[in-house]
Structure 1
Amino acid sequence: MAVEDVSSSLISSLQNPTPTTTNSGTGALGKDAFLQLLVTQMKNQNPLDPQDNTAFVAQLAQFSSLESMQNLTASVDSIASSYTSSQALQASSLVGRSVVVETGSAVVDTTKGMTGSVVVPSSATGTTVKIYDSSKTLVDTVDLGTQAAGTTSFTWDGTDSAGAPVASGTYSFVASGSIDGKGTSLATYLPATVNSVTTAAAGGEMTLNLAGGTSIGLSKVQTIGI
């Protein structure tokens, strides 16, 4: 077998390593073993038919490229590991904190009331937020009147339409308004407490598990509170 053929085989073995006994005991052909074998081949090549210098340089360049790819892979693995650790630390700091997210329901302590916001895409009239309890019964209506395009806040004091206090629990908030004469549903942003956090594998997005049983991606969070 020609020297260049042997060297090509060695390069291939580095790209697709198989169990091999080496001095390092790693079980795969490493770069040191490759270079030692290459030097040995150069020393024992046929003096009447020596290896072409161009082929030798090409083989070294190929080996150098392979080594660079292996180092890059190790660096990427290290970065991925660091990201996972950072994500876990960030997750632990969010548990128990309040966040504001786009959702239609929230767990409300009615003794304290609740403040949320409504996103109005363009000028709207007759803007309201209807509040329903867990049995889908209308509890109260917050009248916001005419609103310009933008985000507007609303407050619910935890009482029904007659002013009587209601029990704490999960409530739904349905916002709507008339835009260009058409009734339009509007997005609501409500506060929620983070009960737990699910970290995703392979660099995926972290998921926040909120009080009330809903889950949402971290990128969907508008505000993180205390």
Structure 2
Amino acid sequence: MSVSDSTGGLSMNDILANSSVRTNTTNNDGLAGAAGAATGKKALGKDAFLQLLVTQLKNQNPLEPQDNGEFVAQLAQFSSLEGITTLNDTVAGLAANYSSSQALQASSLVGRSVIAPGSKAVVDTSKSFTGTIAVPASVDPVKVKITDADGKVVRTLDLGSQKAGEASFIWDGKNDAGEVAAAGTYTFDATATYDGKATSLVTYLPATVNSVTISQTGGELMLNLAGLGSIALSKVQTIGM
């Protein structure tokens, strides 16, 4: 009885090689299908990453199994992805708490008096008005020119020589003629002679907070001052009653 060779002269190595090719094709198709099912058009997340990893292990070539080092590296990537996801959740929670803190802080500032850098102030001339000047170096003399809303100079205060630091001034609400000026918005222009040149100085003036604007993107609180516009909370020097 004769037996015919159905392999057509192929060796065992050839058969195994062909089997490997078919297995690799199956692996690629399986991974591609898993990737499409897991991710779709969305970004790769931890669940999709784990699904791809399991699919890869289930469809690996038995003649060329997953390398231990590569497998450990993929597990480390999955662990890192899990940590980043947890960190994102934590940061989102902190952002929500920060927004709540901002809202509470904003409600406590409305109606309060603050001192902030600026050249204009709403003045009640029936009582004294106090401001501060930032003096960068010893200068002589320091003068404050007070102008009304129409651009008319109503009073000039001469503070004389001042050392580096802060210099306070008080306006009693009267003009140069000794008459009480009308209440309203006034501009305070502080100047000093430095190295023989007239130099403008920064003034810090009181104002009342009418309302507060809370940023929807996590930005800084903006204080809306009565009759003066908005200013960032970080620029406020002093918060009073």
Q: TM-score of the superposition, structure 2-length normalised? A: 0.77
In structure 2, the residue matched to 1:197 is: 212
Cα gap change, 1:8 to 1:57, in 2 (>3 Å):
farther
Question: Quick one: which amino acid aligns to residue 42 of structure 2?
Answer: P
1: distance between equivalents of 2:80 and 2:100? 31
Q: CA RMSD in A?
A: 3.1
Among candidates 168, 172, 177, match of residue 162 of structure 1: 177
In structure 2, the residue matched to 1:70 is: 85
Between Structure 1 and Structure 2, which shows a larger proportion of helix residues? 2
Point out the structure with max Rg over C-alpha: 2
Whether 1:134 aligns to 2:159 is no
1: distance between equivalents of 2:173 and 2:67? 87
Cα gap change, 1:49 to 1:185, in 2 (>3 Å):
closer
Unaligned runs of 5+ in 2: 1-25
Contact 1:11 1:63 in 2 (8 A): no
Cα gap change, 1:168 to 1:12, in 2 (>3 Å):
farther
Question: Quick one: which amino acid aligns to residue 203 of structure 1?
Answer: G
Q: Secondary structure of 1:2's partner?
A: helix
How far is 1:59 from its partner?
2.5
Aligned sequence identity (%): 56
Deviates more, 1:6-15 or 1:144-153: 6-15
2: distance between equivalents of 1:57 and 1:186? 65
In structure 2, the residue matched to 1:2 is: 27
In structure 2, the residue matched to 1:178 is: 193
How far is 1:180 from its partner?
2.1
Among candidates 85, 94, 101, match of residue 79 of structure 1: 94
How far is 1:209 from its partner?
0.9
How far is 1:165 from its partner?
1.1
Q: TM-score of the superposition, structure 1-length normalised? A: 0.82
In structure 2, the residue matched to 1:218 is: 233
In structure 2, the residue matched to 1:149 is: 164
CA deviations over 1:138-184 (Å, ceiling 9, x no partner): 11111101111111100001111121112211011011111122111
Whether 1:120 aligns to 2:135 is yes
Cα gap change, 1:40 to 1:119, in 2 (>3 Å):
closer
How far is 1:39 from its partner?
5.5
Cα gap change, 1:219 to 1:8, in 2 (>3 Å):
farther
Contact 1:7 1:38 in 2 (8 A): no
How far is 1:77 from its partner?
1.1
